[in-house]
Amino acid sequence: MGYVAVKGGQDAIANANELVEYYRLKGRTEPVRLDQVKTQFRLAIDRAMGEGSLYAPEHAALALIQVEGDSFEAAFHLRAYRTTLERRYYSEVMNTREMIVERRISSTFREIPGGQILGPTRDYSMRLLEPALLQQSLGSIDTFLEKVQGYLEPEKLHGITTFGKVIDLFQAEGIITRETQEGDNRRVVDVTREAIKFPAPRSAVLQMLARAETGGLMCMGYSTMRGFAVGHGTIGELRVGRVPLRVVDARGRRRYLGRIKVTECEMVGGAAKRRAAKRGEKNGRSSSKERPTLSVGYGLCFGQNETKAICMGMVDTALRSPDPLSPASSQEFVLHHTECVEGYGFTNHLKLPHYVTFQSELDNIRRVVKAGEQKPQAVTG
């Protein structure tokens, strides 16, 4: 079905744009400052940057102010802004082992090298509203900050460290398998420059999952745990922290740009064992002789967004275990339907005029109804 363009309403559109700004401001409260949003809404910023696929905390904060906190719109604005930037560099391959950790936990082992670090999290809070926040002032904030800083004993400060990864323990024991097979497509695809085709190489899958909408990805990840895919993975390691970013400059020198905060997750599951067994059967070998191993699903995204990284890991595992009964195992289903700007845009295009297409549909229905009425009534009984 084709589309027919419409025009008109320019004044009404301009007035609507002004009116939405009027609604944002009509309460006549102090303007929300960029630095306030940047520092006190860091998780909303992290989510917007992840879904907007642009690491730019100030611009994400601006987007959130402008769109009154709508995470879809904020991501949309960042993606739109991103297209105006000249991409002048490709970074060196970022090494998450260099991460200055803020948080790292494992659900597979109680004791991990370097220890479990809860970091800044609300995971263990009661989720009760805190009315005392309404009384906060700069003075009370300073008192709180001094209290926290006061916990440190300057003469007993530890040096900054990086930590080994939990999957190294599995690797040392030989119980995880690299699932990449000879002949697998390892080409590094950029989905911003190349339309995705299915089956997509894993590089494209990981790039799309990294910028997927958090809620959509959680829906897919949750479905895998509820029995619509390979099963309930376990968090081998979840870490949040800052990783150095480097590029090579015009003189060919390696330059440090700063550190970006990311969340990384390795989801460990039993899928590789089943897949190995299947491969064994396919190759005419007894599945019982296949060495049982664990699979690792990988999640990595901008900022502190643990739900997203965990679900990315679960979905990565599911996507490598094709199952016609599992939506989360279908590349096309997952990647198209968790793509936030496309999904949001397509859903919201429904609000635009569809008069001609709808009239055509209505005409067809009226014609069928009329034809039915003109038919002689069948004799029954």
Partner 1 sequence: MPGGYTGTSRTRFMTPTQYDNDYVLCECDLEPLVSLVSELEKTHGVSIVKKPTVCSTMIRTEDSLEKQEFFLGEALITECEVAVDNTAGYGLCLGEEPQRSYSIAVIDALLHREATPREVLRFLDRQRDVIDERERREFNLILRTQVDIKLMEEE
Contacts of 249 (CB under 8 A, 6+ apart): 255
User: Nearer to partner 1 by C-beta: 236 or 307?
Assistant: 236
Pairing of strands 295-302, 100-105: unpaired
Q: Give the tokens for residue 22.
A: 């009027």
CB 45 within 8 A of CB 61: yes
Judged by CB under 8 A, the residue of 29, 125, 137, 161 near partner 1 is 161
Rounded-to-integer distance, Cα 50 and Cα 301, Å: 6
Which C-beta is closer to partner 1: that of 232 or that of 255? Answer: 255
Give min distance, CB of 260 to partner 1, in A.
6
Q: Tokens 């002032």 sit at which residue?
A: 137
Under rule CB under 8 A, residue 122 binds partner 1: no
Q: Which two tokens stand for residue 197?
A: 């085709």
Task: Report how far residue 309's alpha carbon sits from residue 301's, in angstroms, rounded to the nearest whole number.
Answer: 6
Cα angle 169, 182, 272 (rounded to 5 degrees) comes to: 45
Q: Are 336 and 191 spatial neighbours (Cβ–Cβ below 8 Å)? A: no
Binds partner 1 by CB under 8 A, chosen from 32, 34, 43, 100: 100
Least distance in Å: CB of 97 to partner 1?
8
Using CB under 8 A, pick the residue from 298, 327, 333, 356 that binds partner 1: 298
- Applying CB under 8 A, which part among 94-102, 282-290, 349-357, 370-378 lies near partner 1? 94-102
> Which residues in the 188-207 window bind partner 1 by CB under 8 A?
188, 190-192, 202-204, 206-207
**Binding residue for partner 1 (CB under 8 A) from 32, 43, 94, 225?**
94
Nearer to partner 1, 32 or 247 (CB): 247
Tell me which of 41, 76, 302, 344 binds partner 1, using CB under 8 A: 302
Q: Which of 14, 25, 68, 113 binds partner 1 (CB under 8 A)?
A: 113
Least Cβ distance, residue 156 to partner 1 (angstroms) = 8
Q: Are 237 and 265 in contact (CB under 8 A)?
A: yes
When binding is defined by CB under 8 A, the residue of 115, 174, 183, 324 that contacts partner 1 is 115
Which bin fits 219, alpha (ψ -120 to 50), beta or left (φ > 0)? alpha
Site for partner 1 in 304-363 (CB under 8 A): none
Q: Is the peptide bond before 199 cis (omega within 30 degrees of 0)?
A: yes
> What residues from 258 to 287 belong to the interface with partner 1 (CB under 8 A)?
258-260, 262, 264, 266
> Shortest distance, CB of residue 239 to partner 1, whole angstroms?
10
Distance between CA atoms of 118 and 45, rounded to whole angstroms?
Answer: 21
The least CB distance from residue 281 to partner 1, in Å, is 23
Q: What is the DSSP string of 142-157?
A: HHHHHHHHTT--GGGP
94 versus 356: smaller Cβ distance to partner 1: 94
Element (H, E) at 260: strand 254-269
Q: Which residues make Cβ contacts (< 8 Å) with residue 337, sequence separation at least 6?
A: 216, 343
Residues 16-35 that bind partner 1 (CB under 8 A): none
Question: How big is the CA angle at 280 (ends 167 and 333), to the nearest 5 degrees?
Answer: 65
> What DSSP state is assigned to residue 228?
I
Tell me the window of 5-13, 217-225, 295-303, 330-338 that interacts with partner 1 (CB under 8 A): 295-303
Residues 34-93 contacting partner 1, CB under 8 A? 49-50, 53-59, 82, 85-93
| Range 201-260, binding partner 1 (CB under 8 A) | 202-204, 206-207, 210-211, 245-247, 249-251, 253-260
